[in-house]
Amino acid sequence: MADGVALACVEQTPAGARLCWLEALAGPPEQQGALLCACVERRQAAGLPTVLLLARGSYNLIQTERPEVPDNELSEALRWQLRDLFDFPAEQAIIEAVTFDQAAAGQPLTFAVAASSARLRPLVAQVRDQAGLDLRVIDIPELVLRELLRDEQSSQRGVALLCLWPGSGLVLVSRAGELCMARRFNIGLDELTALAEPVTDGIEISAAQQEMLDALVLEVQRSLDYYESHITRQPVSRVLVAPLRQPLPGLIDYLNSYLTPETLFIPLQSYLADLPEDEALCAFGFTALAAALRALRETS
């Protein structure tokens, strides 16, 4: 991630998945390689099977029509089909196509994940060569987060996940473990918390914060409307909110006042035992936890 490194180690027990440890290390990109190496040494984690999760902004996730070409020609066809959407030369693009057959009420949805080889090589070197981890998979937040929602009882109708990060947010909808849509927007947690005022007379939300929350509700509602009208013809069953690095009193009540589906914080403890009580730590490491859980499920 842009502001630090998060590492999560999980294991499978007879009672279910368990968190062994979680580290959240703040620092700018130029320091993250050293932070990673120091953490791996401290935790004696060298050689562990590892998933590298790409940071927001370091890749493109694009919903697209699947070209009518053989599978072995798909990446090359997508490179030229989508070349005008990349923020790097198309020749550098490493492209993976992911198709979900049942996401849109039986109609397949294809997403292309594209990253620059020039940006990936240093990351791979940090993880594999410098830190000594056994790099197995390179993944992205949207794909590991949709997998996290697979076990939701109402996932057959679709479940939305709202993530609020510094400077940006994400609405993701998953149905039966398949990605239906992922939409980013430019409202972040830092903007919302900066507008907060001391709670007086039981009022948790300031007038300025309410205006920003109205904009957030609009972004979420647009995403839910698109899902219902263009993808499945039915509404999501609920909206889950990812852990927040900073508390935002009144958020869930406000969202429930304006959104039709029930809105609540994601019950992380139902996915993973021995989580730390520090919600800010869980928020910083949320996507790392999701990536570790996905890898654990696939190897169990």
Domain membership of residue 261 (yes or no) is yes
Cβ neighbours of residue 93 closer than 8 Å, sequence gap 6 or more: 79, 83, 86, 114, 115, 116, 117
Per-residue pLDDT tens for 178-211?
899 999 999 999 999 988 766 555 556 778 889 9
Position 296 in a domain = no
Q: Is residue 235, in this structure, part of any structural domain at all? A: yes
Residue 85 inside a domain? The answer is no
Could you give the CA distance from residue 102 to residue 227 in angstroms, rounded to a whole number? 14
The reply to whether 221 falls in a domain is yes
Q: What is the pLDDT along the chain (300 residues), one digit of tens a residue?
A: 668 999 999 999 999 999 999 999 999 989 999 999 999 999 999 999 999 999 988 999 999 988 999 989 999 999 999 999 998 999 999 999 998 876 666 668 899 999 999 999 999 999 999 999 999 999 999 999 998 888 776 667 889 999 999 999 999 999 888 899 999 999 999 999 988 766 555 556 778 889 999 999 999 999 999 999 888 878 999 999 999 999 998 999 999 999 999 999 999 999 999 999 999 999 999 999 999 999 998 886
Tally: H helices and E strands in the chain: 9, 12
Residue 23 domain-assigned (yes or no)? no
Phi/psi of residue 7, nearest 5 degrees? -130, 135
CATH number, domain containing residue 225: 3.30.420.40
Report if residue 192 sits inside a domain.
yes
For 219-259, the pLDDT digits (tens) are: 999 999 999 988 887 899 999 999 999 999 899 999 999 99
* Whether 47 contacts 134, CB under 8 Å: yes
CA distances from 79 to 22, 94, 98, 109, 229 (A): 37, 8, 14, 18, 29
Q: What is the pTM of this model?
A: 0.92
Q: Is residue 231 included in any domain, yes or no?
A: yes
Number of structural domains the chain divides into? 1
Q: What domain range includes position 178? A: 152-270
